[in-house]
Amino acid sequence: MPSQSLRLGIAGLGTVGVGVLRILRKQAVLLEKRTGSTLTISAVSARDRSKDRGVSLSDCGWEDDPVALAKREDVDVFVELMGGADGAAKAAVEAALNAGKDVVTANKAMLALHGQALAERAEAAGRVLRYEAAVAGGIPVIKALTEGLAGNEITRVLGVMNGTCNYILTRMEETGQGYNALFDECARLGYLEADPTLDVGGIDAAHKLAILSSIAFGTQVDFDGIEIEGIERVTLDDIRHAADMGYRIKLLGVAQQTGRGLEQRMMPCLVPAASPLGVLQGGTNMVVLEGDAVEQIVLRGPGAGEGPTASAVLGDICDIARSIRLPVFGQPASGLKQSKPARAILPAPYYLRMALVDKPGALAKIASVLGEAGVSIDRMRQYGHADETAPVLIVTHKCTREALDAALSAMSGTGVLASDPVVLRIEAV
């Protein structure tokens, strides 16, 4: 069988783009065996043509303008690795689709914010738009969810999807250093995005969650419907106290259908210390997929880096070379429903940390306020203390966020709280 040829145009030659070039060259023979196609690079585009990237560009064309690259006659697949939700990346992807090219991208922000419009455009043009590298780096989670678990009604998707946040949280526990010191360490190590709030503010991870939700629940990507809280306010005290109660704090994304809409949240949560998510250390990512038939699948792997991210991009390119052509979010974009955002509808146990004024009856007041709001206490600890406030930890039984908020509001009127309580949800895994 004579080999076919698939001609690529690659826009963006940062870490990932260079990684893709390296694999295409190093593994040319293997890739041809696996796909039945020769994968060639017609041209590339990046900001600075003269920069030394450690890979030769002499055998492929160059375009200063990614939009021009996207439209080239000799490009079958446009590979967008520039990043940025809007601007050049989006313009080039749109141009490529309009010109009848398939598209592979690693751009989570673009998909989280414009996924529905881009999917409609791709499907109208009869083109595919693939983005395995956009979620959880090297883990083939888009493929697992869209294809491997296609026989399941997905019940919950959750995971740790930002390696930098997980690195900071696990290093806080290991080293006893506070958030600020570890933020600085990450900045020195180059672990942070140019705008670090994308990482530590939970936004980058929420982009990924929005994409997974859409596939899992057949809904239009709804980034704005995600309740987002970053890790900036996680303290060493909470990390230690959570550990004391058998938990670890993770920046956890959770998406699930409730009777009253789609709940999507990305926020610091407690998970059992011995669970797969609890034992996840450092920059590794983990996604948990739950379905009515498969029960629970856990996927773990590197969430970033040249090799892993390029591996995911290559997976998409090989799929296209092998004529694997699916709707962008696993079913036609025209049939995706708008989801109704639901906020913390389902009951869960909560972790509460509070500092009580050290007076007789203080704890009793807190306990009775919780009881009146219908929040029952699973476990409680009061710690020894040298100053005038008594540290108290409470793990509640499952309760609604509504009931808990009522209790918290009543608590603030008791006069026994020395400061605002810390409230963290405990996610069962």
Report in angstroms how near the CB of residue 336 gets to a second copy at its nearest.
10
For position 64 contacting a second copy by CB under 8 A, the verdict is no
| Structure token pair of residue 280 | 């996840």
Our measurement of the distance from residue 238's CA atom to the centroid of its chain's CA atoms, rounded to an integer in Å, reads 23
For position 102 contacting a second copy by CB under 8 A, the verdict is no
Least Cα distance to 179 among 230, 229, 236 occurs for 236
For position 298 contacting a second copy by CB under 8 A, the verdict is yes
What string marks each residue from 353 to 372 as x (binds a second copy by CB under 8 A) or -?
Answer: --------------------
* β-strand pairing of 77-80 with 261-272: unpaired
Question: Which one of residues 92, 119, 192, 313 is an interface residue with a second copy (CB under 8 A)?
Answer: 313
Stretch that binds a second copy, among 107-115, 159-167, 287-295, 354-362 (CB under 8 A): 287-295
| 51 tagged catalytic | no
Report in angstroms how near the CB of residue 280 gets to a second copy at its nearest.
9
Whether residue 416 contacts residue 366, with contact meaning beta carbons closer than 8 Å, is answered with yes
User: How buried is residue 236: exposed, middle or buried, by Cβ count under 10 Å (0-12/13-18/19+)?
Assistant: middle
Report in angstroms how near the CB of residue 283 gets to a second copy at its nearest.
11
Which residues on neighbouring strands pair with residue 11, listed in sequence order? 45, 80
Question: Which one of residues 163, 253, 302, 421 is an interface residue with a second copy (CB under 8 A)?
Answer: 302
Which residue, 318 or 357, has its beta carbon nearer to a second copy?
318
Question: Which one of residues 3, 4, 33, 260 is an interface residue with a second copy (CB under 8 A)?
Answer: 33
For position 305 contacting a second copy by CB under 8 A, the verdict is yes
For position 127 contacting a second copy by CB under 8 A, the verdict is no
Question: Looking up tokens 């009775």, which residue turns up?
Answer: 368
| Structure token pair of residue 427 | 């996610």
Measured distance CA(161)–CA(257) in Å, rounded? 20
Least Cα distance to 20 among 75, 73, 78 occurs for 78
Which residues on neighbouring strands pair with residue 296, listed in sequence order? 290
Which residue, 293 or 386, has its beta carbon nearer to a second copy?
293
Whether residue 250 contacts residue 367, with contact meaning beta carbons closer than 8 Å, is answered with no
Residues 140-159 that bind a second copy (CB under 8 A): 140, 143-144, 147-153
Catalytic hit among 101, 108, 208, 365: 208
Q: Can you give 389-421 as a three-state secondary structure string? A: EEEEEEEECCECHHHHHHHHHHHHCCCCECCCC
Report in angstroms how near the CB of residue 25 gets to a second copy at its nearest.
12
Question: Which one of residues 5, 323, 368, 376 is an interface residue with a second copy (CB under 8 A)?
Answer: 323
Q: Kindly report the number of other CB atoms within 10 A of residue 414's CB atom.
A: 15
Contacts of residue 126, defined as CB under 8 A and 6 or more positions apart, other chains included, come to 100
Report in angstroms how near the CB of residue 149 gets to a second copy at its nearest.
6
Give the binding site for a second copy (CB under 8 A): 1, 19, 23, 27, 30-31, 33-36, 132, 138-140, 143-144, 147-153, 218, 274, 276, 279, 291-302, 305, 307-308, 310-315, 317-319, 322-326, 330-332, 335
